[in-house]
Amino acid sequence: MKENRTSLEIIAPTVEEAIQRGLQDLGVPSSSVQIDILDEGSRGLFGIGARQARIRLTIKEALPPVPPPAPLSEQVVEEKLAVENISTHTQPDNQLLFKAEEVVRRLLEEMHIKASVSASTKNSAEQGIPTIYIDIRGKDLTVLIGPQAETLNALQYITSLIIGKQSNQAVPIMIDVEGYRSRRENQLRHLARRMAEQAIKSGRRQILEPMPANERRIIHLELKEYPGVTTESIGVEPRRKVTIIPK
């Protein structure tokens, strides 16, 4: 099931149709996928023995669209931040950003991980304190994500507790490593639509792999307005999973 997230098999009357449908499904341009024709299909004779075309689209492992910023030496970064911090002293937001960066940097240092850390506020439609978005970039950071983002979530949880304690208020914090979360969100949306399609076609409920709550939420939201299916989570944490049920 895992490789399905980056590749997709489509069956359609013709190869062209299959490719078009696949690209639409994945929501990516044809330049970013590899197309394998598994079966060109044939019209058969008077419709007898006609086979549909079968193709596979694989999303090419693209480099992150935004190249990581040139690695500044730790000192330069510190200095830059110190200056920013003084000049924007009156804005509590920047104080928080600075604190958040400091906390994450310290945690990574204690974990013996070299990476660059930058914090920004993410505009959210909701009122109240905006989410602090902390971006971690560097080499070989898969250990920082962990199985099912376990490590990343632990880091995020501990960071938000420390910031919350220091600033005496609950501050929503989101930590991302090399764009992992946004990539994962896209994958999950595509997965959701594909499985919904399958549920409708087969008339049978589709059960997804176990996922943490934030990922299940993405699936539920994506299919909330999707015609023909409803979604529901079943099972007990940490093996709770989404099922997609045809109406």
Partner 1 sequence: MKTLIEYIAKSLVDNPEAVVIHEERHGNAVNLVLKVAKDDMGRVIGKNGRVANAMRILLRVAASRAGQRVTLDVEEPR
Residues in contact with partner 1 by CB under 8 A are: 103, 106-107, 110-113, 143-144, 146, 150-151, 153-155, 157-158, 161-162, 165-166
Instruction: Output the smallest distance, CB 239 to partner 1, in A.
Output: 16
Task: Indicate the residue among 163 and 218 with the shorter CB distance to partner 1.
Answer: 163
Q: What is the largest CA-CA distance in the chain?
A: 80
Q: Which of 214, 94, 93 is nearest to 157 (CA)?
A: 214
CA distance 238 to 226: 27
Task: Indicate the residue among 32 and 153 with the shorter CB distance to partner 1.
Answer: 153
Q: Is 61 helix (H, G, I), strand (E, B) or coil?
A: coil
- Please state the φ and ψ torsions of residue 25, each to the nearest 5 degrees: -60, -45
Task: Indicate the residue among 80 and 106 with the shorter CB distance to partner 1.
Answer: 106
CB 1 within 8 A of CB 209: yes
Instruction: Output the smallest distance, CB 166 to partner 1, in A.
Output: 7
Task: Indicate the residue among 90 and 168 with the shorter CB distance to partner 1.
Answer: 168
Instruction: Output the smallest distance, CB 112 to partner 1, in A.
Output: 5
Q: DSSP per residue over 111-157, as a string? A: TT---EEEEEEEP-SSSSSPEEEEEEE-SS-HHHH-GGGHHHHHHHH
CA distance 160 to 153: 10
Instruction: Output the smallest distance, CB 211 to partner 1, in A.
Output: 18
CB 79 within 8 A of CB 73: no
Instruction: Output the smallest distance, CB 157 to partner 1, in A.
Output: 5
Instruction: Output the smallest distance, CB 245 to partner 1, in A.
Output: 30
Instruction: Output the smallest distance, CB 154 to partner 1, in A.
Output: 4
Other C-beta atoms closer than 10 Å to the C-beta of 62 total 10
Q: Which two tokens stand for residue 80?
A: 């830059």
Task: Indicate the residue among 159 and 231 with the shorter CB distance to partner 1.
Answer: 159
Task: Indicate the residue among 76 and 154 with the shorter CB distance to partner 1.
Answer: 154
CB 194 within 8 A of CB 206: no
